[in-house]
Amino acid sequence: MSLFVLLLALLTPADLSNKSLAELRLMRGEVFGRHGRIFGTDKDIDRHLRAQSWYKPSRDYTNDELTDDDRRSLDLIREAEAKHHEHVEPGDMRWWQTRELTEEKLGEHSGVELRVMLAEIEAIHGKTFEDSPTLQRYFGDRYWYEAKKYDAKALSATERHNMAVIESAMKKQRKVVLLPGDMAAYLDKPITPAMLDGVGLHELRLLRNEIYARRGWSFKSAWLANWFAGYDWYTPAEKQPVLTKLQLNNVEVISARERELHDALATKNIEPSMLEGLFTEDLKRLRNEVYARHGRTFKDKELNEYFTSFGWYKPDPAFKEASLSPIELANVDVIRRLEEGADSRISFEG
Contact 338, 273 (CB under 8 A): no
**Which domains, ranges and CATH numbers included, belong to the chain?**
1-84 (1.20.58.1690), 85-175 (1.20.58.1690), 183-345 (1.20.58.1690)
User: pLDDT tens-digit profile of 40-98?
Assistant: 878 899 999 999 999 999 999 999 999 999 999 999 999 999 999 999 999 999 999 99
User: pLDDT tens-digit profile of 305-343?
Assistant: 999 988 899 999 999 999 999 999 999 999 999 898 777
Above 60 in pLDDT, residue 171?
yes
Strand, helix or coil for residue 36? coil
Cα(15)–Cα(29) distance, integer angstroms: 16
User: pLDDT tens-digit profile of 187-203?
Assistant: 999 999 999 999 988 89
Residues 6+ away with beta carbon under 8 Å from 100: 158, 161, 162
Q: Which long-range contacts (CB under 8 A, 24 or more apart) does 323-330 make?
A: 323/294, 324/290, 324/291, 324/294, 325/266, 327/266, 327/267, 327/268, 327/269, 328/265, 328/266, 328/290, 330/269
- Of 112, 88, 100, the C-alpha closest to 164 is 100
Above 80 in pLDDT, residue 276?
no
